[in-house]
Amino acid sequence: MQQDFFYGIDQLTIGNALAIAKGRQKGVLNDAAIANIQKSQQHVQQIVENNITVYGVNTGFGVLATTPVSESDTRILQHKILQSHSVGVGEPIPVEIAKLMLITKVHALARGYSGAQLTTLQRIMWHIEQDIIPVVPEKGSVGASGDLAPLAHLFLPLIGLGEVFYKGRRYRAQEVLQQFELPPIQLGPKEGLALINGTQFILSFAVKAVQRMHYCLEAADIIGAMSLEALTGTKAPFDERLHRLRPFAGNELVAQRLRLLLHQSDIMQSHVDCGRVQDPYSLRCMPQVHGASRNAWLHLKQLTETELNSVTDNPIILSADDTISGGNFHGQPLALPLDYACIAAAEAGNISDRRTYLLLEGKWGLPVLLMRNVGLNSGFMIPQYTTAALVTENKTLCFPASADSIPTSLGQEDHVSMGSISGRKLNQVLDNLEYILAIELLSACQAIEFRRPLKSSEILESAHDYVRQFVSFAEEDRIFADDIDKIKRIISDFSFVGHCNELASLKKINLNKGYETFEV
């Protein structure tokens, strides 16, 4: 168990957020955070008692911002906002994403600018710690006035409404609260608005995407190196001197990784004087293509961590006499990099598919379709159909959601980010990318065995052996979908890359030396 994380005080990283979601770290409120929370809540109470007009405290919401609400109705108003804004549709988002939404919201509220009650934050933390996670529909946010609909669903259980996932089953929230003998929370002034104003839906999808894309990009370099070996390609294009002349950080990192992955390979040494001048781009340009995707990933990571430690509520409560109604809830700062990363992830799949295709052509000593007896057998022809389909699907998902905007709230909210769609879409592309890489890895492992008795580098041989624990060499056709699923799992859970990194560490090889920013 890692050291406790202090909500509202410590800097929240992607690693911290994921660790809390997995139960490997506990998020707590220390005395300083509690003092900030209580002070902010007192400011809101003074606003109500002194009848100072503040948006969302004693006024309606959105286009109803000029409609006053009496002091006696301010609490009812907060209850109603959760009900009225719970309009999400579609399938529930993954439980881990919903849990990340809870974690990131607690951290934002604990900064002490939102007027939330301490008891409300403690109840949200109870949901996190007990793993009682609200059911949140995937669609309905335009990512501008905060992720209104998904956040409203997320916090319905606080007032005894909505549904939760608990111990693998779906329950009415009221049933679970009764089981634990807990009453619903009575929301105070502004609390409903503080709960639903913010970017935690977009942010949580971004957090998960940063982790998943990191796993894919780390795997892509190893798998690409294995394909290069199987195709008897050259490592000359990864020369450090070449990449110093065009020093993009991602490109230099990938070139370094490929040099280290291919170091002391017998296969590489066996064809030094083969006469081939240049390899196809999907082999030769891995540093440029994988590297560009890594640069996009790094940009997303940096902006996501900025957002993790931001206050995206509205209005911001500085004191009873000083409140600011602004636009910190607008999702554009994440919507754009999420769309950029979507293209970057799709391109990683695009070049992977091209390498898979090269492995099937029957060139440079490999059998056509990676089997000796084709005709009776289709060999590895049809798995590449799947990569072609997935690559094309990813291309259709690359249209940037942030390029669109539809006015809402009768024109009061006349520009919206659509970042919620950007975040969901990126994760769909990553689903496909994991399968595309799995099929390349399946094919590369098959192909590299036709180079025997020659061996690749120690790390790549270990990578091959690790895959063979799950999937055997194919002498004839079989149901390759089973193989693909098994390999996809070891890519998505990072065990494939983790295995390679463990061996590299034992050999005192740091594949990412000097590029620590590219780690999660």
CATH of the domain at 221: 1.20.200.10
Tell me how far apart the 2 most distant CA atoms of the chain are, in Å. Answer: 87
Q: Residue 427's pLDDT is what?
A: 98
Residue 219 domain flag: yes
With bands split at pLDDT 50, 70 and 90, how would you rate the model's confidence at 62?
Answer: low
The whole-angstrom distance between residue 326's C-alpha and the CA centroid of its chain comes to 28
| Cβ contacts of 247 within 8 Å, gap of 6 or more | none
Identify whether 503 is part of a domain.
yes
Q: How many helices and strands (H and E) does the chain possess?
A: 20, 9
Range 78-96 average pLDDT: 95
Cβ contacts of 483-487, under 8 Å, gap ≥ 24: 483/442, 484/383, 484/386, 484/435, 484/438, 484/439, 484/442, 485/438, 487/438, 487/439, 487/441, 487/442
Q: What is the CATH number of the domain that holds 81?
A: 1.10.275.10
pTM of the predicted protein model: 0.97
Q: Rounded to the nearest 5°, which phi and psi values hold at 308? A: -60, -30
Compute the distance between CA of residue 140 and CA of residue 359 in angstroms, rounded to an integer. Answer: 43
Residues contacting 437, CB < 8 A, separation 6+? 216, 219, 220, 223, 348, 349, 352, 491
Does the structure show a pLDDT above 70 at 56? Answer: yes
- Going 240 to 241 to 243 to 248, the CA torsion angle's sign is positive
Distance between CA atoms of residues 352 and 30, nearest Å: 48
Residue 27 within a domain: yes
Per the rule left: phi > 0, alpha: psi between -120 and 50, beta: everything else, 275 is: left
> What tens digit of pLDDT does each residue of 149-171 get?
999 999 999 999 999 999 999 99
Q: With bands split at pLDDT 50, 70 and 90, how would you rate the model's confidence at 75?
A: confident
**185 domain residue, yes or no:** yes
Closest by Cα among 488, 480, 227 to 361: 227
Q: Which of 164, 198, 232 is the last residue of a domain?
A: 198
Q: Annotated catalytic residue: which of 55, 340, 435, 515? A: 55
Domain identity same for 163 and 112: yes
The answer to whether residue 316 sits within a structural domain is no
Q: pLDDT exceeding 90 applies to what percent of the chain?
A: 90
Q: Which of 250, 219, 247 is nearest to 341 (CA)?
A: 250
Q: What does the pLDDT average to over 460-477?
A: 98
Q: What is the pLDDT of residues 218-230, one digit of tens each?
A: 999 999 999 999 9
Residue-by-residue DSSP string for 102-142:
HHHHHHHHTTS-S---HHHHHHHHHHHHHT-EE--EEE---
The residue with greater pLDDT, 55 or 10, is 10
- Report the alpha-carbon distance of residue 188 to residue 192 in Å, rounded: 8
In tens, the pLDDT along 394-427 reads 999 999 999 999 988 888 888 999 999 999 999 9
Is 146 in the same domain as 193?
Answer: yes
More confident: 197 or 409: 197
Last residue of a domain, one of 167, 198, 229: 198
Model pLDDT for residues 246-291, shown as the tens digit of each residue: 999 999 999 999 999 999 999 999 998 777 879 999 999 999 999 9
Distance CA 397, CA 346 (A): 9
Q: How many folded domains does the chain comprise?
A: 2
Same domain, 210 and 155: no
Q: Are residues 255 and 344 in the same domain?
A: yes
> Averaged over 470-492, what is the pLDDT?
98
188 shares its domain with 235: no
Q: Kindly state whether residues 185 and 292 are assigned to the same domain.
A: no
pLDDT of residue 95: 98
Specify whether 184 is located in the same domain as 213.
no
55 is catalytic: yes
Q: Out of 150, 170, 198, pick the residue that ends a domain.
A: 198
191/217 same-domain check: no
Same domain flag for 338 and 421: yes
Mean pLDDT over 42-53 rounds to: 89
Confidence of residue 10 (pLDDT cuts 50, 70, 90): very high
Q: How confident is the model at residue 324 (pLDDT cuts 50, 70, 90)?
A: very high
Phi, psi (degrees; rounded to nearest 5) at 144 = -130, -60
Same domain, 224 and 186: no
- Range(s) of the domain holding residue 333: 206-311+328-518
Cα–Cα dist 56/198, whole Å: 14
**Same domain, residue pair 345 and 287:** yes
Query: Are 306 and 400 within one domain?
Result: yes
Q: What is the mean pLDDT of the chain?
A: 95
